[in-house]
Amino acid sequence: MVCCFGERKSRDTMQKKTKNVVKFGIIGFGRYAERRLVPAFLQAEKAELVAISKRNAAYARRKAHYNIPFSFSNPAELVLHPAVEAVLVCSPPFYHREHALLAARAGKHVMVEKPLAANADEVAEMIQTCQKNRVLFYPAFVMRFAPVIQEMRRIVQSGEIGPLKFVNAHFVLDASLSPRSWLNDPQISCGGPVADLGSHLFDLLMYLTGKPVVGVKRFLQPPYSREQIERNAIINLEFEGGILGSVFVSFDLPRESAIELYGRYGALKVQDFNEPNKTVKLLRTHAEGCARQDISNGYYYTAMLDHFAEVILEGKEPVNSAESGLQNQKILDIIYHSNTGGFETIN
Ligand SMILES: NC(=O)c1ccc[n+]([C@@H]2O[C@H](COP(=O)([O-])OP(=O)(O)OC[C@H]3O[C@@H](n4cnc5c(N)ncnc54)[C@H](OP(=O)(O)O)[C@@H]3O)[C@@H](O)[C@H]2O)c1
């Protein structure tokens, strides 16, 4: 069930879950938390939302109308509350480090939204602080949980399309329609569409190929600086084993996304792969012809929350590792902070 503000449905408030669950607090209860995560918590079986924080206390109390028991105006209070076992950091990217460290030092498991931080040093610090405090660090790259992505990965691993040679992805939207006030401020957003949208694509392409990125070349228009974000970008990638990749992102186009994987014996292609609750069409092309498969994407945000709860409760192998999160940020660092502008390798 998906419910939005103003759309009161029968199960539109948090029910106390009696089974083995992990109790979450959200720092930065903004649009994403409200629009995507609240419906996900409503459906989740192993994850329960018990606390939120917003800078304005009265506003936080009002937003807790889903029957979320605790609301705070200070993240430091949220992380110390004994009911909170795991913290989802949903503040703007500049604050991720500060909020993740707060949670880890309070002994709470940490899930961090993308882009994970301002640079790879910050991500490494978050990971080390979590390790030191014996809590889990989980990069919240939710799109891995989309059923169409799971199916593409299964097909690649089955060998059906042969060894991959080239992977191509784009994710574009019209950011002038976004109400996020911080999106155009590089100090708070830590990047433009490459950080906001490209980080998802780097993550998915590493997940689908099963290979880390070892080389990066960037083209940003306009150039990224302390004063302005890029609005359009092409990033060329080389994956371990020689697979080539290309990613295009934009804040200036009508919303659309696509992934194409080209293997020795065939290709997989999908458009709008990240739309929740939609049926997406996966195209398989071979020398003999092509076949179309309809895949229901469901509400995959719930799958990520339940999965992280299982990692905590049952010690399951995480779908997103801390290392892949760090790798993701190293790619962003090269794109935004390297002075060469040419080809750079990752070690
Ligand atoms: N995985 C995905 O698919 C996905 C999708 C969208 C967003 N995200 C990520 O989720 C995070 C939040 O995005 P959002 O769209 O929810 O943003 P948002 O609605 O603008 O803000 C999220 C929270 O940040 C706080 N905030 C806003 N501007 C701030 C500022 N200048 N200084 C300090 N705090 C500020 C707000 O605080 P108050 O509540 O105190 O006002 C709000 O709680 C970002 O990291 C974003 O990249 C992920």
Q: Is residue 6 part of a domain?
A: no
Mean of pLDDT over the chain:
93
Residue 106 pLDDT:
98
Cα–ligand 1 centroid distance for 182 (angstroms): 8
Q: Do 224 and 279 lie in a common domain?
A: yes
Query: Whose CA is closest to atom 22 on ligand 1?
Result: 30
Q: Is residue 44 part of a domain?
A: yes
Tokens 């003999």: give the residue. Answer: 288
Q: Do 78 and 147 lie in a common domain?
A: no
Q: Do 208 and 133 lie in a common domain?
A: no
Domains of the chain: total: 2
Q: Do 340 and 203 lie in a common domain?
A: yes
Concatenated DSSP letters of 243-302: -EEEEEEESEEEEEEEEEEEESSEEEEEESTT-TTSEEEEEEEETTEEEEEEEE---HHH
Q: pLDDT band for 128, please (50, 70, 90 cuts).
A: very high
Q: Is residue 3 part of a domain?
A: no
Cβ contact 2:42 at 8 Å: no
Q: Is residue 345 predicted with pLDDT exceeding 90? A: no
What share of the chain in percent tops pLDDT 90?
87
Which of the residue ranges 17-31, 141-155, 164-178, 254-268 would you say has the lowest mean pLDDT?
17-31
**Pocket mutation for ligand 1, best pick of 32, 63, 328 (most atoms within 8 Å of C-beta):** 32
Specify the pTM: 0.94
Q: Is residue 327 predicted with pLDDT exceeding 60? A: yes
Nearest C-alpha neighbor of 301 from the set 150, 63, 141, 178: 141
Read off the pLDDT of residues 290-321 as tens digits, 9 standing for 90 and up: 999 999 999 999 999 999 999 999 999 999 99
Average pLDDT of span 195-218: 97
Spatial CB neighbours of 19, under 8 Å, sequence gap ≥ 6 = 45, 46
Domain that holds residue 126: 22-140
Cβ contact 28:112 at 8 Å: no
* 85, 115, 140 - which closes a domain: 140
Cα separation of 201 and 212, whole Å?
13
Cβ contact 43:17 at 8 Å: no
Q: pLDDT band for 147, please (50, 70, 90 cuts).
A: very high
Q: pLDDT band for 347, please (50, 70, 90 cuts).
A: low
Question: Tell me, what CATH number does 323's domain have?
Answer: 3.30.360.10
Taking each helix axis from N to C end, the angle separating 199-209 and 322-337, rounded to the nearest 10 degrees, works out to 130
**Pocket mutation for ligand 1, best pick of 90, 112, 141, 251 (most atoms within 8 Å of C-beta):** 90
Average pLDDT of span 237-242: 97
Cα–ligand 1 centroid distance for 29 (angstroms): 7
Q: Do 129 and 165 lie in a common domain?
A: no
Read off the pLDDT of residues 62-75 as tens digits, 9 standing for 90 and up: 877 788 999 999 99
Question: Tell me, what CATH number does 81's domain have?
Answer: 3.40.50.720
Q: Is residue 8 predicted with pLDDT exceeding 60? A: no
Residue 69 pLDDT:
94
Read off the pLDDT of residues 44-61 as tens digits, 9 standing for 90 and up: 999 999 999 999 888 888
Strand partners, 108: none
Q: Do 71 and 147 lie in a common domain?
A: no
Q: Is residue 4 predicted with pLDDT exceeding 50? A: no
Residue 176 pLDDT:
94
Query: Whose CA is closest to atom 21 on ligand 1?
Result: 30
